[in-house]
Each structure stands twice: as C-alpha cells, then as structure tokens.
Amino acid sequence: MAAAAGNVEFIRARSDKREYRRLLLPNALECLLISDADTDKAAACMEVGVGSFSDPEGLEGLAHFLEHMLFYASEKYPGEQDYTKYISEHGGSSNAFTSSETTNFYFDVNADNFEEALDRFAQFFIKPLMSQDAVLREIKAVDSEHKKNLLSDGWRMHQLQKHLASKDHPYHKFSTGSWETLETKPKERGLDIRLELLKFYENYSANLMHLVVYGKESLDCIQSLVESLFSHVKNMDQRSFKCPSQPLSAEHLQLLVKAIPIIEGDYLKISWPVTPNIQFYKEGPCRYLSHLIGHEGEGSIFHIIKELGWAMDLVAGAGSDSNEYSFFSVGMRLTDAGHDHMEDIIGMVFKYIHLLKEDGIHEWIFDELASINETEFHYQDKVHPISYVTATVSSMRLFPPEEWLVGESLPSKYAPNRINMILDELSPERVRILCESKKFEGSTNCAEPWYNTSYSIENVTPYMIKQWIQKAPTEKLYLPKPNIFVPKDLSLKEVPDKVTFPTILRKTPLSRLWYKPDMLFFTPKVYIIIDFHCPLSSHSPEAAVSTSLFVDLLVDYLNAYAYDAQIAGLFFSIYLTSTGFQVSVGGYNDKMRVLLHAIMKQIVNFVVKPNRFSALKETSVKDYQNFNFSQPYSQASYYLSLILEEKKWPLVEKLQALSKLESDSLAKFVPHLLSKTYLECYVQGNIEPGEAESIVQEIEDTIFNTPNSVFKPMSPSQYLVKRVIMLEKEIKCCYQIEGLNQKNENSSVVQYIQVHHDDALSNIKLELFSLISSQPAFNQLRTVEQLGYITYLSLRSDRGVWALEVVIQSTVKDPSYLDSRIDEFFKTFESKIHELSDKDFKRNVKSLIDSKLEKFNNLWEESGFYWGEIEAGTLKFDRVESEVALLRELKKEEFIEFFDEYIKVDAPQRRTVSVQVFSGNHLAEFKKAIAEADPPKTCRITDIFGFKRSRPLHRSLKGGPGLITMD
C-alpha cells in the first residue's frame, strides 16, 4: 500500500519561500515535509503521543527514562554512540524532552549528511536495543538530573502545585524519575526494570506519532527518503492517551498555599482552572484576557502595584500542554512591602477582572490584537530549522493540516461570549493562590514528598476576597488606549549601493556610526545599537553597582510607555556592559525613531525616584544573595571569570557596596558617570544611509548639544579596555573552594585550557579539536563513567582569548577526582588524535567548513555577528571566508602538531587552571585536598587577586575611537 501525499493548501506567511507537503504513511504515521532550497542545516522532530501521564503506577519517570534510553544503540546501529557521534561530527545537535502527554525527539545536522543522520534517528522508533548495561547507567543519569533539580524553585513549586491536585489524575504524579522510583522500589517489588521498559515501549506506535522533516532536497526526494526509513515503524494501533478533564476538584480550590523557597525573593501566583484556549483558538479568549490582565501600561494592575512599590514584574496567561485542561495564572515577583500587602494585590487583580466584566468586551481591542498578530505572522523571522521543526510538530496533533503552520497564532473570530465565559471562570469560587517566601519559615506544617518543599494551606473564601477587594488601593484601573506603535508603513527602502560589510558612515569626537543596509532578508525591520562607553562606569565596586542600578531604573521608568511598542513588535533593551551600558532597539522600522527618542530623553532627564530606587535596590540585593543558591558549575564558572578578567569585582564586594548605596548618592553619581561618554553606534536593516546618519545626529543633539547637558566628550586616553590574564606555560593552576550552599549535594569542576589570542589559523585548529572531541568527552565522562548529568567540553573566548573548557557537575565524586578524569580523558584521546585517518580528518574539516558557511537565518543573527566583531575590536567582517580558505588548506600534520603543542596533558604550551567547588557531601575530600602538598608543575591559587597581579596580561584587540580612520 502506497503512502498518501495529501495535497493540502497550507495557510502560510507571505514571506515564507519554503515548500510543504503532508504525508500519511501506510503505518498511519503522519508527516510534514518541508523543502528549503536555501538551508544549510537539515532537521527532524518526532513527537510521540506518550508522555509522563502514561507512566505505570509505581514506576514514576518511566517515560522520561525511555526518552533517555532511545539515544543508545539500535539493532541496525549497534554502537552506543552511533547516533550522537554521527550528529556531532557533522555539525549537528540533538536532544529530547518528555512532557505530560508527549515525548519529543529532535536533531539537526549539516544538510549534506541528512540521509544518514535520519536513518540513525528512525531506528529509535524501529528497533532500539536497550541493553541491560545501558539501562543501569542511564538510571544514574536520570537520578543525577533529578538531583540537579532538587534545589530549583521552579521544579519544587511546579511539583507542589501537582501534589495539591486530585490523586487519581495523572497531573498529580512525579514525572522525572529517580534512583528510588526506577531502581530501588521496582527491585523491592521484584520487577525487572528493563522488561518494564520494553513493555512500555510498545506504546510507541506509529499511529500516535507525528514527524516533521526539514531538508534541502525537493519534496519528492524528501518523501521517498521518509517512506523508506519510517514505513518500518510498527503500528500497534494504540489508543491515544485521553486525559481526564480538570485535575483540580472543589477541595483544591479556594486555597492559599504558603511555601518556602530555596532562594531569596517573594513570588505570588494566582491561578484558576479554565477551559483550554485550544478549544476556541479561532476566537482566542485567553489571548484577549492575558493581553489586558498582563498589560503594563498606565491604568493596568501592574503599573499601579509597581508605583506603590509592591511588585517588580507581572505575567498573565493560560497554559498547559493538554487539550483537556488549562490554568489561567497571574504571577508576580513581590517586594518586601508587596509581601505585606499581598491581600491588597489579590484584591486589585479581582477588581480588574470585575472592571473587565462591567466595562464589557471591546471589539477594537480584539481587532488591534488580531492586526498585530497578523503582521507578526506574515513578517516572522526565519529561525533555525531545529527550532522550526520542534515548534511546528505540536500543531500537527492539535490542528487540521491546513493550519499546521499557523496553529493558534491568528485568532480571527470576535466572540465576546467566549471571552465572557473565561472571565466567569476567573472567579473567587475557583481561585487558588500560591505565595513563596522565606518569611513563612517556622509557620508551615506540611512537606511535599518528592522535593521536600515546606508549605501550609489556608482556605480563602469568596467573602474574604470580597473584603480584600474593598480594602484594595483606590488608584484608578482602566483599559489601555489604542496602541500608537502599531506599524503602518511596512514598505521596503531602496538601497542604492550593494554593501557586503558594515561601513563607517560618520565619525565625530562624540560618536562613530557603523551602517549596513539589509541585503538578505528584505523585511521592514531594523536593528540599532547605541553603545555608551563610559570610563567611570566600573572603576570600583561602588561605580559598578551604581551603573547597574541606573540601568535598572532606566528600564523601569520606560516600561509603561514602551510596553505598547513591545506588543506591536518593537523591542528595546538597556543592559550593562563591561565598559558602560548599551541601548538596543529592534523590530519594525516604522515607529522606531519614536521609541529611540523616548529612550534618549529618559537618559538625559534622568532623576532618581526614591520609591523605585528602594524597590530595585532591594531586588538587586536579593539577586546577589541568590548567587549562593546557584548551581555549583555556575559558581565554578564565576570564580574562573574572576581569575581571568582584569578589573572584575567580586560579588561579595558589590553586595557590600550595594547595601550601602543611597538614592542621593546615586543621584550624584549619574551625572559623573555620563560626564565622559563616547557612543559607538550600529544601524542595520531596512533603513537608508541618510536616515541612519540623522538618527545619530539627533541622539548627539539630544545628549550633548543641550544648554545644561552633563555629557562631555571622552578623551581618547580614557578609552577603557578590559584584558585577560596570561596563564603560565606547563603549569597547572588550581583553585579549590567550598560550595556556597552546602545543602546542595553537587560538586563541580571547570578545567580551562587557555590556548591563543584571536588568530584565524589557530582558531580553526582549536574549533576542529572541539568538534572532534566534544562528543567523545561527553560519552566517556557522562555516559561511560557516569560522573554527572551536566558534562560538556566546549570552546570559550574571553575578550579574544580562545580556550577550551571541560565542565562536570557531580554528586558521586569530588572535584579533584573529576579533574583527574578530565586529564585521563585527554591522555587517552591523544592516541585518537595521532591515529586520525586522512578520511576522518577530511570529513571533520568538511563538517566544520559546512557549519561555518551556514547562512544567517534572520537580521538579528547577521547583526549579532557584525556587532560582535565591532564590540570585540577584531573587525574581521570576512572572518568566515578567510577561516574557510585556511581550513581548505589545513594539513592533518599541522593539526596534530597544534594538539601536541597546546592541548595534550604535557604539552609545552599548555596553560591550565582548574576551578573546583566542593559540596557538603565532599567536605572530607576538600580538607584532604587543601592539606596536600602541591605536586610538581602545579600552582595552588589561594588569593585570586594576588595571583592576578602576578601575571602578565594578553593584549587587547580593541583599538578604541582614535585608531579607526575614515576611509
């Protein structure tokens, strides 16, 4: 029986040049084929309609465990690494995730290697081996993943919400699995976990699968490839999992749950079970309501509670990955004052819901949203194929084929009755409130069993909520006004000259403008970066935290005004850099200048508002304190940066400085900060050169050329460059420290090998080594030795200094041992490099060339690359072409010589530092490690700053404003 190729008329974006076809295989596997002649990467995603809700009773995490196991060997490809090795050696990546009702597997690879990669992928669903040996090892990996999550508030609170649901609903279950659920308990019951796994795998039936395949070839070619590879997937004619409806019955509603988090900070989440939006996706009722309840402009819930100093953010919306149930939630981060006014805030939310009911549903608001959604859909940016296939596959399960590409992104039917139906569901009778705060310590009386989260429950009656509404603030709530930022002019500008790379259009003592028109994407969008180079921004911990708070306040002040811009597809960000701060604006060019002008006016007219200063300072202090609760590998990475970077202030000093900072001292600091400024500007996209110049002229006029301006041009001698220390050859430095949260069972090591300063020939050799070694390192250290779930080898570049780093986080072994295993990996890998066949060498070189020649997918990627070159000071806009030319000439002997010189364990030029963070589990090993005498050729770092002062610095690549001449 032949496969059916459905001739579907897909609803698609006007800008989309790809070709699509629906294909139904004889085994009932439904496929979407995508042909993109311009792609350099191919990708595929399989969604199986079996998730953690299908876990058998008493085998929690079996679906997630099966997801892990399928990456191992298959009958056709019996080598354990046959799939992952092939993918990583051909420029690709692969992953999977298990959700409640589905499990998704996906990968991408260089387009020329797609057929072989897809064949290996197909075996997951045809004949995996699931050997006994691999089963035991992967249970350890699942357990390591679970232990990583134990101290994560996101996982803890999610499980608490599930715990407080109907016990007979699968939502109540623990879904990720652990050593206890997959090894200890099954053994006690006399179960063979491998046999249970094989039995569970029978649920993986072709009729429950959806596949998206994205390639370069024609649709006919892709179809014959898919037919030949996936027709062998068995159709067991399984029934799809039918989720019982809502997981919350009456006893789980009208509750206030108070829970104790790990980290500092108070969070409030108000939620209601609602009819899933997916059932009315053409009407989009939840979208309409989340737009209004989550609005941040004047008159909104958030704007009022923010001005009162009670909250730092607010998100609202419906979500679940099920067709059968959903929750509408309003979540926010509270300040200490907000915690004290929690009842007032809840009253405010209900007051606004009441306003929406009283005021009625407005067709103009629906139309405005529909118009914004339509523009966004038709001018969507092209994304990486791997992102596209994973985003598209879930539509296949939920929507008719013609709507697979659009899903629920285009609500088009105005149905006030549907919106009112959801509004009625947001009632005091159906609410459930979760508040997280350390202030509840000592007053909770329950513990969630899987993560041991302490909590207590109180009843919240509609009468109580009525009282809260009455005592809520009297500030006036009102609906947003029409959005002035909705783009009207989406025409494309004429570009007179074909420009390959960014050029300098304009240069003054105050600024420099780099410009590049859009020659690739022909979209009505633009990307603008204004980099404020302020030499006084970071000369002390006090300056660094003051600059940071200034930036936070700027964003805070602009929020209400710019929120409409964001809804209309025009985004801005202001963030700290190592030499000042940066403003970037991206999106439709039509209203771009309006927003940019508002941002510049805000900078010029900056004043410190004491109430916002207090709220942001408080939040900032908690964020610094929360570093203590971050993952140990993040802590190790922080210490490494502290060792490497000149003038990087330690967090503890910044926290001290921040604690002492007052609003009047910040008010004095800001004019001082801005008194010396240089602007590096970058403009790319649908914009003419004259307009780019006039934008920068306008910014200069706004900032520098006003009568009372504090801004003054910066002297070239003040140009700041941050540099990286040079480690010593043949010496291994070691920094050992206790983890900041001794309750965390994980220890971590980061081994950093500093190799060279940005140089095309050295770059390609190091990239080639990373390509060849990253998958074997993962396989040896994680899969074979089971040292820890987080394990990787990757490239790293700090201010143009290139290096390799190997990271392991582990509960099973201490960091000194982990470090020795990394050394051992490099020793055994030495023979693999030396024995590399000509064929393998050429294959890896080709793979790296393919990856380098990958085209940019959208304007942001292209701008990001060019701005990266400007920001780093390298200005190698032709980097790809020059490095590819060198790769084509590279000899295997040169590559091996490079490895022997810089990377292998006893290499004469090897410069290494190992940062080791010891958890409470490994305190005995820590004491032993710091008491031991240093082996030869090692240097123990006990004082990071003393060590830094003793080392020379790598030169800087940044020339600064004085060194680039106008051509």
Helix axes 193-201, 132-149, angle to 10 degrees: 90
Cβ density class 911-932: b for 16+ within 10 Å, e for less:
bbbbbbbbbebbeebbeebeee
Residues 6+ apart with CB under 8 A from 374: 410
The H or E element spanning position 96 is strand 93-98
Alpha helices in 806-899 (DSSP H): 815-834, 838-852, 859-872, 879-889, 892-898
Listed residue (582, 558, 547, 560) closest to 671, CA to CA: 547
Token pair 């350390």 is found at: 438
Rg, Å, the chain Cα set? 29
Contact in structure between 55 and 181 (CB atoms under 8 Å): no
Looking at the chain, how many residues does it have?
967
Secondary structure class of 606 (helix, strand, coil): coil
Rounded Cα distance, 265 and 263, in Å: 6
Q: How far is CA 43 from the centre of its chain?
A: 20
β-strands 255-259, 266-274: how paired?
unpaired
Rounded Cα distance, 288 and 631, in Å: 38
Token pair 């910040």 is found at: 666
DSSP string, 235-249: ---PPPP---S-S--
Contact in structure between 377 and 406 (CB atoms under 8 Å): yes
DSSP string, 73-93: -BSSS-STTHHHHHHHHTT-E
* Beta pairing partners, 436: 259, 267
Rounded Cα distance, 763 and 912, in Å: 18
The one-character DSSP state at 541 is: H
Residues 6+ apart with CB under 8 A from 119: 76, 229
Instruction: Calculate the dihedral angle through the C-alpha atoms of 431, 436, 441, 443, rounding to the nearest 10 degrees.
Output: 0
What are residue 109's phi and psi, to 5 degrees?
-160, 160
Q: Which residues are marked as active site?
A: 67, 138
Cβ density class 435-462: b for 16+ within 10 Å, e for less:
bbbeebeeebeeebebbebbbeeeebee
* The pair of three-digit structure tokens given for residue 17, joined into one six-digit string: 């040049």
What are residue 414's phi and psi, to 5 degrees?
-80, 115
Contact in structure between 31 and 213 (CB atoms under 8 Å): yes
Secondary structure class of 623 (helix, strand, coil): helix
Rounded Cα distance, 809 and 166, in Å: 36
Listed residue (173, 186, 194) closest to 243, CA to CA: 173
The type of residue at 859 is L
What are residue 720's phi and psi, to 5 degrees?
-90, 135
The one-character DSSP state at 840 is: H
The one-character DSSP state at 135 is: H
CA angle (585 as vertex; 579, 590 as ends), nearest 5: 155
Rounded Cα distance, 20 and 35, in Å: 6
Contact in structure between 180 and 146 (CB atoms under 8 Å): no
Residues 6+ apart with CB under 8 A from 224: none
Contact in structure between 248 and 167 (CB atoms under 8 Å): no
